[in-house]
Amino acid sequence: METINIQVDADVAKTYHSANPEQQQKIQALMNLWLKCAMQITQLQTTMDQLSDEAEANGLTPEILQSILDE
């Protein structure tokens, strides 16, 4: 694992610092999972954007796609 610093509001920081070490470890594990999930979603969105750009560059407009889907 590697340590990073993130900014949170004062209430979150206070609650985290007042938690016992076991609770802090659970919070860290949840944040790690959440960040991994968020990064996967971002990567998926980037891939979808690239595919959309490529399709449009090849002549597939949103209107043409909609007409295909409507068939």
Q: How confident is the model at residue 4 (pLDDT cuts 50, 70, 90)?
A: very high
Residue 14 has pLDDT above 90, yes or no: yes
Domain residue limits, the chain? 47-71
* Cα gap 64→24, rounded to integer Å: 52
Position 47 scores a pLDDT of 93
Task: Output the pTM of the full model.
Answer: 0.62
pLDDT digits 0-9 by tens, 19-70: 999 999 999 999 999 999 999 999 989 999 999 899 989 998 888 888 888 9
* Cα gap 61→55, rounded to integer Å: 8
Residue 71 has pLDDT above 90, yes or no: no
